[in-house]
Chain A
Protein backbone atom coordinates (compact mmCIF):
# COMPACT_ATOMS: atom_id res chain seq x y z
CA UNK A 1 0.00 0.00 0.00
CA UNK A 2 2.86 2.36 0.86
CA UNK A 3 4.32 1.64 -2.57
CA UNK A 4 1.07 2.65 -4.24
CA UNK A 5 0.83 5.83 -2.19
CA UNK A 6 4.44 6.90 -2.65
CA UNK A 7 4.65 6.47 -6.45
CA UNK A 8 7.46 8.68 -7.77
CA UNK A 9 9.89 8.93 -4.84
CA UNK A 10 11.24 12.32 -5.90
CA UNK A 11 7.82 13.87 -5.42
CA UNK A 12 6.30 12.20 -2.39
CA UNK A 13 5.71 13.48 1.11
CA UNK A 14 5.51 9.83 2.21
CA UNK A 15 9.18 9.38 1.32
CA UNK A 16 10.38 12.46 3.24
CA UNK A 17 13.76 14.12 2.80
CA UNK A 18 13.08 17.04 5.15
CA UNK A 19 11.82 17.68 8.67
CA UNK A 20 8.55 19.25 7.55
CA UNK A 21 7.70 16.40 5.18
CA UNK A 22 8.54 13.83 7.86
CA UNK A 23 6.05 15.47 10.23
CA UNK A 24 3.41 15.62 7.52
CA UNK A 25 3.99 11.92 6.72
CA UNK A 26 3.62 11.05 10.42
CA UNK A 27 0.42 13.08 10.60
CA UNK A 28 -0.91 11.35 7.49
CA UNK A 29 -0.27 7.90 8.97
CA UNK A 30 -1.94 8.79 12.29
CA UNK A 31 -4.92 10.33 10.47
CA UNK A 32 -5.20 7.28 8.25
CA UNK A 33 -5.15 5.04 11.34
CA UNK A 34 -7.73 7.17 13.18
CA UNK A 35 -9.98 7.37 10.12
CA UNK A 36 -9.83 3.62 9.55
CA UNK A 37 -10.61 2.96 13.23
CA UNK A 38 -13.67 5.24 13.14
CA UNK A 39 -14.82 3.68 9.87
CA UNK A 40 -14.43 0.15 11.21
CA UNK A 41 -16.44 0.90 14.35
CA UNK A 42 -19.23 2.80 12.60
CA UNK A 43 -19.57 0.32 9.74
CA UNK A 44 -19.13 -2.58 12.17
CA UNK A 45 -22.05 -1.32 14.26
CA UNK A 46 -24.17 -0.86 11.12
CA UNK A 47 -23.39 -4.40 9.96
CA UNK A 48 -24.04 -5.77 13.45
CA UNK A 49 -27.43 -4.09 13.61
CA UNK A 50 -28.45 -5.68 10.30
CA UNK A 51 -26.83 -9.10 10.56
CA UNK A 52 -27.62 -10.07 14.17
CA UNK A 53 -31.21 -11.32 14.19
CA UNK A 54 -33.85 -10.46 16.74
CA UNK A 55 -34.41 -7.35 18.80
CA UNK A 56 -31.57 -5.48 20.36
CA UNK A 57 -31.59 -4.30 23.94
CA UNK A 58 -32.43 -0.57 23.93
CA UNK A 59 -29.86 0.36 26.58
CA UNK A 60 -27.02 -1.49 24.83
CA UNK A 61 -28.09 -0.07 21.46
CA UNK A 62 -28.07 3.46 22.85
CA UNK A 63 -24.63 2.97 24.38
CA UNK A 64 -23.17 1.55 21.16
CA UNK A 65 -24.70 4.20 18.89
CA UNK A 66 -23.78 7.18 21.06
CA UNK A 67 -20.43 5.75 22.14
CA UNK A 68 -19.29 4.35 18.80
CA UNK A 69 -21.01 6.84 16.53
CA UNK A 70 -20.44 10.11 18.38
CA UNK A 71 -18.22 9.99 21.47
CA UNK A 72 -15.44 7.81 20.07
CA UNK A 73 -15.11 9.68 16.72
CA UNK A 74 -15.13 13.00 18.59
CA UNK A 75 -12.34 11.86 20.90
CA UNK A 76 -10.26 10.48 18.04
CA UNK A 77 -10.72 13.63 15.92
CA UNK A 78 -9.91 15.87 18.88
CA UNK A 79 -6.71 13.92 19.51
CA UNK A 80 -5.72 14.15 15.85
CA UNK A 81 -6.48 17.88 15.81
CA UNK A 82 -4.28 18.44 18.88
CA UNK A 83 -1.50 16.35 17.35
CA UNK A 84 -1.64 18.34 14.09
CA UNK A 85 -1.87 21.74 15.78
CA UNK A 86 1.08 20.96 18.05
CA UNK A 87 3.24 20.70 14.90
CA UNK A 88 2.42 24.18 13.67
CA UNK A 89 4.52 26.43 15.94
CA UNK A 90 7.78 24.77 14.96
CA UNK A 91 6.87 24.68 11.27
CA UNK A 92 5.99 28.40 11.37
CA UNK A 93 8.93 29.52 13.51
CA UNK A 94 11.38 31.58 11.42
CA UNK A 95 14.82 30.00 10.91
CA UNK A 96 17.91 31.40 12.68
CA UNK A 97 19.06 34.86 11.51
CA UNK A 98 22.00 33.74 9.38
CA UNK A 99 20.05 31.08 7.50
CA UNK A 100 20.03 30.92 3.73
CA UNK A 101 17.22 32.99 2.23
CA UNK A 102 15.89 32.35 -1.25
CA UNK A 103 13.38 34.54 -3.08
CA UNK A 104 11.12 32.60 -5.39
CA UNK A 105 8.60 34.23 -7.66
CA UNK A 106 5.93 32.35 -9.58
CA UNK A 107 5.48 33.45 -13.19
CA UNK A 108 3.18 31.74 -15.66
CA UNK A 109 4.59 29.06 -16.08
CA UNK A 110 8.06 29.05 -14.58
CA UNK A 111 9.95 30.05 -11.43
CA UNK A 112 12.24 33.01 -10.86
CA UNK A 113 14.74 32.07 -8.13
CA UNK A 114 17.15 34.47 -6.39
CA UNK A 115 19.66 33.60 -3.68
CA UNK A 116 20.44 36.37 -1.19
CA UNK A 117 24.21 36.34 -0.98
CA UNK A 118 24.81 39.55 0.95
CA UNK A 119 23.49 42.99 1.73
CA UNK A 120 21.45 43.91 -1.36
CA UNK A 121 23.19 41.17 -3.34
CA UNK A 122 21.26 38.48 -5.14
CA UNK A 123 22.10 35.76 -7.60
CA UNK A 124 19.29 34.93 -9.95
CA UNK A 125 18.56 31.63 -11.60
CA UNK A 126 15.40 29.85 -12.72
CA UNK A 127 13.46 26.60 -12.52
CA UNK A 128 16.02 24.89 -10.33
CA UNK A 129 16.76 25.20 -6.63
CA UNK A 130 19.84 23.84 -4.93
CA UNK A 131 19.94 23.54 -1.15
CA UNK A 132 22.55 22.54 1.43
CA UNK A 133 21.66 19.43 3.43
CA UNK A 134 20.94 19.73 7.18
CA UNK A 135 20.54 23.51 7.02
CA UNK A 136 17.31 25.45 7.54
CA UNK A 137 16.31 27.53 4.54
CA UNK A 138 13.75 30.29 4.34
CA UNK A 139 11.86 30.92 1.13
CA UNK A 140 10.28 34.33 0.52
CA UNK A 141 7.51 33.71 -1.96
CA UNK A 142 5.53 35.96 -4.24
CA UNK A 143 3.87 35.94 -7.65
CA UNK A 144 4.17 38.19 -10.67
CA UNK A 145 0.77 37.40 -12.18
CA UNK A 146 -1.77 34.98 -10.67
CA UNK A 147 -1.87 32.87 -7.52
CA UNK A 148 0.59 30.00 -7.60
CA UNK A 149 1.54 27.57 -4.84
CA UNK A 150 5.09 26.52 -4.03
CA UNK A 151 5.44 22.88 -3.05
CA UNK A 152 8.36 20.49 -2.73
CA UNK A 153 6.48 17.43 -1.43
CA UNK A 154 9.59 15.53 -0.33
CA UNK A 155 10.78 18.44 1.82
CA UNK A 156 7.72 20.00 3.41
CA UNK A 157 4.35 21.64 3.09
CA UNK A 158 3.12 24.05 0.46
CA UNK A 159 2.52 27.78 0.60
CA UNK A 160 0.55 29.99 -1.76
CA UNK A 161 2.34 32.66 -3.80
CA UNK A 162 0.09 35.70 -3.98
CA UNK A 163 0.58 38.75 -6.23
CA UNK A 164 1.44 41.81 -4.16
CA UNK A 165 2.17 39.83 -1.00
CA UNK A 166 5.17 38.00 0.37
CA UNK A 167 4.59 34.65 2.04
CA UNK A 168 7.21 32.55 3.83
CA UNK A 169 8.15 28.91 3.99
CA UNK A 170 10.83 27.28 6.10
CA UNK A 171 12.30 23.99 4.91
CA UNK A 172 14.97 21.84 6.48
CA UNK A 173 16.23 19.14 4.08
CA UNK A 174 17.99 16.25 5.77
CA UNK A 175 18.82 13.92 2.87
CA UNK A 176 20.96 14.48 -0.19
CA UNK A 177 19.14 13.82 -3.45
CA UNK A 178 17.22 15.22 -6.38
CA UNK A 179 13.57 16.03 -5.86
CA UNK A 180 10.77 17.62 -7.77
CA UNK A 181 8.81 20.74 -6.86
CA UNK A 182 5.50 21.74 -8.40
CA UNK A 183 2.94 24.49 -8.59
CA UNK A 184 0.07 23.26 -6.43
CA UNK A 185 -2.51 25.88 -7.39
CA UNK A 186 -4.13 25.84 -10.83
CA UNK A 187 -2.73 28.86 -12.65
CA UNK A 188 -3.67 28.43 -16.31
CA UNK A 189 -2.99 26.44 -19.46
CA UNK A 190 0.49 25.12 -18.62
CA UNK A 191 -0.07 24.73 -14.87
CA UNK A 192 0.72 21.02 -15.00
CA UNK A 193 4.03 21.85 -16.70
CA UNK A 194 5.13 24.36 -14.08
CA UNK A 195 7.63 22.37 -12.04
CA UNK A 196 11.21 22.67 -10.88
CA UNK A 197 14.13 20.51 -9.83
CA UNK A 198 15.45 20.57 -6.28
CA UNK A 199 18.96 19.34 -5.60
CA UNK A 200 19.90 18.83 -1.96
CA UNK A 201 23.67 18.62 -1.70
CA UNK A 202 26.48 18.64 0.88
CA UNK A 203 27.27 22.09 2.28
CA UNK A 204 30.70 22.33 0.59
CA UNK A 205 29.28 21.38 -2.81
CA UNK A 206 26.48 23.88 -2.38
CA UNK A 207 28.87 26.71 -1.53
CA UNK A 208 31.01 25.87 -4.54
CA UNK A 209 27.93 25.84 -6.76
CA UNK A 210 26.71 29.18 -5.40
CA UNK A 211 30.12 30.76 -5.98
CA UNK A 212 29.93 29.51 -9.56
CA UNK A 213 26.48 31.00 -10.00
CA UNK A 214 27.76 34.42 -8.96
CA UNK A 215 30.23 34.49 -11.84
CA UNK A 216 29.32 36.00 -15.20
CA UNK A 217 29.53 33.74 -18.22
CA UNK A 218 32.84 33.34 -20.00
CA UNK A 219 33.50 33.65 -23.72
CA UNK A 220 32.05 30.78 -25.79
CA UNK A 221 34.55 28.32 -27.17
CA UNK A 222 34.35 26.92 -30.68
CA UNK A 223 32.87 28.38 -33.87
CA UNK A 224 29.38 26.93 -33.37
CA UNK A 225 28.94 28.41 -29.89
CA UNK A 226 30.44 31.74 -30.99
CA UNK A 227 28.02 31.87 -33.89
CA UNK A 228 25.26 30.86 -31.50
CA UNK A 229 25.97 33.80 -29.23
CA UNK A 230 25.76 36.21 -32.18
CA UNK A 231 22.50 34.62 -33.32
CA UNK A 232 21.09 34.73 -29.78
CA UNK A 233 21.49 38.50 -29.77
CA UNK A 234 20.53 39.04 -33.42
CA UNK A 235 17.27 37.15 -33.05
CA UNK A 236 16.32 39.26 -30.05
CA UNK A 237 16.49 36.54 -27.37
CA UNK A 238 18.18 39.01 -25.04
CA UNK A 239 15.03 41.12 -24.94
CA UNK A 240 13.44 38.47 -22.73
CA UNK A 241 16.37 36.58 -21.20
CA UNK A 242 19.33 37.67 -19.12
CA UNK A 243 22.80 36.21 -19.58
CA UNK A 244 25.07 38.02 -17.13
CA UNK A 245 28.29 39.19 -18.72
CA UNK A 246 26.60 39.86 -22.07
CA UNK A 247 24.23 42.48 -23.46
CA UNK A 248 21.26 40.19 -22.86
CA UNK A 249 19.36 41.70 -19.96
CA UNK A 250 15.68 40.88 -20.50
CA UNK A 251 13.59 39.92 -17.51
CA UNK A 252 10.43 38.68 -19.18
CA UNK A 253 11.72 35.11 -19.31
CA UNK A 254 14.05 32.97 -17.17
CA UNK A 255 17.64 34.01 -16.49
CA UNK A 256 19.85 31.82 -18.68
CA UNK A 257 23.25 32.75 -17.22
CA UNK A 258 24.15 29.20 -16.18
CA UNK A 259 21.50 27.42 -18.19
CA UNK A 260 23.86 24.65 -19.34
CA UNK A 261 24.33 23.41 -15.78
CA UNK A 262 20.61 22.90 -15.16
CA UNK A 263 19.09 19.46 -15.16
CA UNK A 264 16.00 20.30 -17.15
CA UNK A 265 14.39 22.88 -19.40
CA UNK A 266 10.96 24.44 -19.81
CA UNK A 267 10.37 24.42 -16.02
CA UNK A 268 11.40 20.81 -15.43
CA UNK A 269 9.39 19.25 -18.22
CA UNK A 270 12.27 17.80 -20.31
CA UNK A 271 15.84 16.75 -19.55
CA UNK A 272 18.28 19.45 -20.54
CA UNK A 273 19.98 17.93 -23.58
CA UNK A 274 20.65 19.10 -27.12
CA UNK A 275 17.73 17.30 -28.75
CA UNK A 276 15.17 18.60 -26.29
CA UNK A 277 16.62 22.11 -26.45
CA UNK A 278 16.47 22.08 -30.25
CA UNK A 279 12.83 21.04 -30.10
CA UNK A 280 12.07 23.58 -27.35
CA UNK A 281 13.44 26.50 -29.41
CA UNK A 282 11.88 25.53 -32.74
CA UNK A 283 8.59 23.96 -31.64
CA UNK A 284 8.05 25.60 -28.27
CA UNK A 285 4.27 25.38 -28.25
CA UNK A 286 4.26 21.69 -29.11
CA UNK A 287 6.40 21.04 -26.04
CA UNK A 288 4.55 23.38 -23.70
CA UNK A 289 1.20 24.69 -24.97
CA UNK A 290 0.38 28.15 -23.72
CA UNK A 291 3.96 29.22 -22.99
CA UNK A 292 4.70 32.92 -23.59
CA UNK A 293 7.93 32.30 -25.54
CA UNK A 294 7.46 32.41 -29.32
CA UNK A 295 8.59 29.39 -31.34
CA UNK A 296 11.62 30.07 -33.57
CA UNK A 297 10.53 27.91 -36.47
CA UNK A 298 12.33 30.19 -38.95
CA UNK A 299 15.78 29.04 -37.78
CA UNK A 300 17.52 26.62 -40.13
CA UNK A 301 19.27 23.54 -38.79
CA UNK A 302 22.72 25.19 -38.61
CA UNK A 303 21.39 28.22 -36.79
CA UNK A 304 19.51 26.03 -34.36
CA UNK A 305 22.60 23.91 -33.69
CA UNK A 306 24.66 27.04 -33.10
CA UNK A 307 22.25 28.46 -30.52
CA UNK A 308 21.98 25.09 -28.82
CA UNK A 309 25.80 24.83 -28.68
CA UNK A 310 25.99 28.29 -27.12
CA UNK A 311 23.30 27.65 -24.49
CA UNK A 312 24.78 24.26 -23.56
CA UNK A 313 28.10 26.00 -22.86
CA UNK A 314 26.53 28.34 -20.30
CA UNK A 315 27.77 26.39 -17.30
Chain B
Protein backbone atom coordinates (compact mmCIF):
# COMPACT_ATOMS: atom_id res chain seq x y z
CA UNK B 1 0.00 0.00 0.00
CA UNK B 2 2.83 2.36 0.94
CA UNK B 3 4.64 1.60 -2.32
CA UNK B 4 1.51 2.38 -4.33
CA UNK B 5 1.12 5.76 -2.60
CA UNK B 6 4.75 6.67 -3.29
CA UNK B 7 4.43 5.62 -6.88
CA UNK B 8 1.26 7.69 -7.33
CA UNK B 9 2.88 10.65 -5.62
CA UNK B 10 5.90 10.53 -7.99
CA UNK B 11 3.62 10.21 -10.98
CA UNK B 12 1.62 13.25 -9.89
CA UNK B 13 4.83 15.27 -9.37
CA UNK B 14 6.22 14.21 -12.75
CA UNK B 15 3.06 15.29 -14.53
CA UNK B 16 3.02 18.52 -12.55
CA UNK B 17 6.62 19.32 -13.56
CA UNK B 18 5.93 18.83 -17.22
CA UNK B 19 2.82 20.98 -17.01
CA UNK B 20 4.68 23.67 -15.07
CA UNK B 21 7.51 23.90 -17.57
CA UNK B 22 5.02 24.65 -20.33
CA UNK B 23 3.62 27.45 -18.18
CA UNK B 24 6.97 29.27 -18.56
CA UNK B 25 6.59 29.68 -22.33
CA UNK B 26 2.86 30.38 -22.25
CA UNK B 27 3.07 34.18 -21.87
CA UNK B 28 5.83 34.70 -24.48
CA UNK B 29 3.83 32.46 -26.82
CA UNK B 30 0.78 34.68 -26.35
CA UNK B 31 2.91 37.73 -27.17
CA UNK B 32 4.26 35.98 -30.30
CA UNK B 33 0.76 35.06 -31.48
CA UNK B 34 -0.44 38.61 -30.78
CA UNK B 35 2.50 40.03 -32.77
CA UNK B 36 1.92 37.73 -35.74
CA UNK B 37 -1.85 38.23 -35.73
CA UNK B 38 -1.47 42.02 -35.60
CA UNK B 39 0.98 42.28 -38.48
CA UNK B 40 -0.76 39.65 -40.60
CA UNK B 41 -4.06 41.47 -40.15
CA UNK B 42 -2.45 44.75 -41.16
CA UNK B 43 -0.68 43.21 -44.17
CA UNK B 44 -3.79 41.48 -45.50
CA UNK B 45 -6.08 44.44 -44.84
CA UNK B 46 -3.72 46.95 -46.44
CA UNK B 47 -3.14 44.71 -49.47
CA UNK B 48 -6.77 43.71 -50.06
CA UNK B 49 -9.24 46.06 -48.41
CA UNK B 50 -7.69 49.47 -47.73
CA UNK B 51 -9.37 52.62 -49.13
CA UNK B 52 -7.55 54.92 -51.52
CA UNK B 53 -6.49 57.12 -48.59
CA UNK B 54 -4.97 54.06 -46.90
CA UNK B 55 -6.93 54.44 -43.67
CA UNK B 56 -6.37 51.51 -41.34
CA UNK B 57 -9.00 52.16 -38.66
CA UNK B 58 -10.34 48.60 -38.88
CA UNK B 59 -6.85 47.24 -38.26
CA UNK B 60 -6.53 49.44 -35.17
CA UNK B 61 -9.80 48.06 -33.79
CA UNK B 62 -8.76 44.48 -34.51
CA UNK B 63 -5.37 44.93 -32.85
CA UNK B 64 -6.97 46.54 -29.81
CA UNK B 65 -9.26 43.51 -29.51
CA UNK B 66 -6.29 41.14 -29.88
CA UNK B 67 -4.47 43.15 -27.22
CA UNK B 68 -7.27 42.93 -24.69
CA UNK B 69 -7.50 39.16 -25.18
CA UNK B 70 -3.70 38.76 -25.01
CA UNK B 71 -3.35 40.85 -21.86
CA UNK B 72 -6.14 38.93 -20.12
CA UNK B 73 -4.47 35.60 -20.95
CA UNK B 74 -1.02 36.86 -19.94
CA UNK B 75 -2.44 38.23 -16.68
CA UNK B 76 -3.99 34.84 -15.97
CA UNK B 77 -0.73 33.05 -16.66
CA UNK B 78 1.18 35.55 -14.54
CA UNK B 79 -1.25 35.22 -11.66
CA UNK B 80 -0.96 31.44 -11.85
CA UNK B 81 2.84 31.68 -11.79
CA UNK B 82 2.85 34.09 -8.89
CA UNK B 83 0.57 31.77 -6.93
CA UNK B 84 2.94 28.83 -7.48
CA UNK B 85 5.89 31.00 -6.55
CA UNK B 86 4.34 32.09 -3.25
CA UNK B 87 3.14 28.61 -2.34
CA UNK B 88 4.64 27.78 1.06
CA UNK B 89 6.98 29.84 3.21
CA UNK B 90 10.37 29.37 1.57
CA UNK B 91 12.13 32.48 0.32
CA UNK B 92 14.18 32.68 -2.83
CA UNK B 93 16.51 31.57 -4.23
CA UNK B 94 14.54 28.42 -4.91
CA UNK B 95 17.59 26.35 -5.76
CA UNK B 96 17.05 23.29 -3.62
CA UNK B 97 16.75 19.88 -5.23
CA UNK B 98 13.18 19.54 -4.07
CA UNK B 99 9.87 19.40 -5.84
CA UNK B 100 8.63 22.41 -3.92
CA UNK B 101 11.60 24.56 -4.93
CA UNK B 102 11.30 23.51 -8.56
CA UNK B 103 7.65 24.42 -8.50
CA UNK B 104 8.37 27.83 -6.96
CA UNK B 105 11.22 28.56 -9.34
CA UNK B 106 9.05 27.75 -12.34
CA UNK B 107 6.30 29.88 -10.84
CA UNK B 108 8.65 32.84 -10.47
CA UNK B 109 9.95 32.42 -14.05
CA UNK B 110 6.39 32.27 -15.34
CA UNK B 111 5.47 35.40 -13.42
CA UNK B 112 8.48 37.44 -14.59
CA UNK B 113 8.10 36.34 -18.21
CA UNK B 114 4.44 37.30 -18.03
CA UNK B 115 5.41 40.83 -17.01
CA UNK B 116 7.89 41.01 -19.88
CA UNK B 117 5.34 39.61 -22.33
CA UNK B 118 2.73 42.13 -21.19
CA UNK B 119 5.14 45.01 -21.84
CA UNK B 120 6.08 43.55 -25.25
CA UNK B 121 2.41 43.13 -26.17
CA UNK B 122 1.65 46.74 -25.22
CA UNK B 123 4.66 47.92 -27.26
CA UNK B 124 3.33 46.02 -30.30
CA UNK B 125 -0.13 47.54 -29.83
CA UNK B 126 1.28 51.06 -29.49
CA UNK B 127 2.61 50.91 -33.06
CA UNK B 128 -0.90 50.32 -34.38
CA UNK B 129 -2.39 52.95 -32.09
CA UNK B 130 -0.10 55.66 -33.45
CA UNK B 131 0.28 54.58 -37.09
CA UNK B 132 -3.19 55.12 -38.47
CA UNK B 133 -2.67 54.35 -42.14
CA UNK B 134 -1.28 51.72 -44.47
CA UNK B 135 1.30 54.16 -45.89
CB atoms of B126 and A85 under 8 A apart: yes
Chain A residues touching B, range: 10 to 19
CB atoms of B119 and A74 under 8 A apart: yes
CB atoms of A89 and B119 under 8 A apart: no
Interface of A, secondary structure class, is: helix
Q: Is A33 engaged at the interface, CB distance under 8 Å to the other chain?
A: no
Q: Is A204 engaged at the interface, CB distance under 8 Å to the other chain?
A: no
Q: Is B109 engaged at the interface, CB distance under 8 Å to the other chain?
A: no
Contact of B126 among A81, A94, A168 (CB under 8 A): A81
CB atoms of B131 and A82 under 8 A apart: no
Determine the residue in chain A with the shortest Cβ distance to B53.
A94
Chain B residues touching A, range: 10 to 19
CB atoms of B135 and A82 under 8 A apart: no
Q: How far is the CA of A85 from the CA of B132 in the complex (A)?
A: 11
Q: How far is the CA of A158 from the CA of B126 in the complex (A)?
A: 23
Determine the residue in chain B with the shortest Cβ distance to A58.
B91
Q: How far is the CA of A52 from the CA of B99 in the complex (A)?
A: 37
CB atoms of A92 and B135 under 8 A apart: yes
CB atoms of B130 and A88 under 8 A apart: yes
**Contact residues of A between 233 and 273, Cβ < 8 Å to B:** none
**Contact residues of A between 123 and 155, Cβ < 8 Å to B:** none
CB atoms of A94 and B123 under 8 A apart: no
CB atoms of B131 and A85 under 8 A apart: yes
CB atoms of A93 and B135 under 8 A apart: yes
CB atoms of A89 and B130 under 8 A apart: yes
**Contact residues of B between 89 and 135, Cβ < 8 Å to A:** 119, 122-123, 126-127, 129-133, 135
CB atoms of B123 and A92 under 8 A apart: no
CB atoms of B130 and A78 under 8 A apart: no
Contacts of B133 in A (CB 8 A): 89, 92-93
CB atoms of B130 and A82 under 8 A apart: yes
Determine the residue in chain A with the shortest Cβ distance to B134.
A92
CB atoms of A85 and B127 under 8 A apart: yes
Contacts of A94 in B (CB 8 A): 135
Contacts of A78 in B (CB 8 A): 119, 122-123, 126
**Contact residues of A between 167 and 216, Cβ < 8 Å to B:** 168
Contacts of B119 in A (CB 8 A): 74, 78
Contacts of A1 in B (CB 8 A): none
Q: Is A4 engaged at the interface, CB distance under 8 Å to the other chain?
A: no
CB atoms of B130 and A85 under 8 A apart: yes
Q: How far is the CA of A81 from the CA of B132 in the complex (A)?
A: 16
**Contact residues of A between 72 and 86, Cβ < 8 Å to B:** 74, 78, 81-82, 85-86
Determine the residue in chain A with the shortest Cβ distance to B115.
A70
CB atoms of A81 and B123 under 8 A apart: yes
CB atoms of A88 and B126 under 8 A apart: no
Q: How far is the CA of A18 from the CA of B122 in the complex (A)?
A: 32
Instruction: Given the known inter-chain contacts A74-B119, A78-B123, A81-B123, please indicate yes or no for A86 contacting B135, CB distance below 8 A.
Output: no
Contacts of A92 in B (CB 8 A): 131, 133, 135
Contacts of B123 in A (CB 8 A): 78, 81
| Chain B residues packing against A (C-beta within 8 Å) | 119, 122-123, 126-127, 129-133, 135
Sorted nearest first, the 3 A-B pairs with minimum C-beta distance are A85-B130, A92-B135, A88-B131
Other A-B pairs beyond A85-B129, A88-B131, A92-B133, 4, CB < 8 Å:
A74-B119, A78-B122, A92-B135, A93-B135
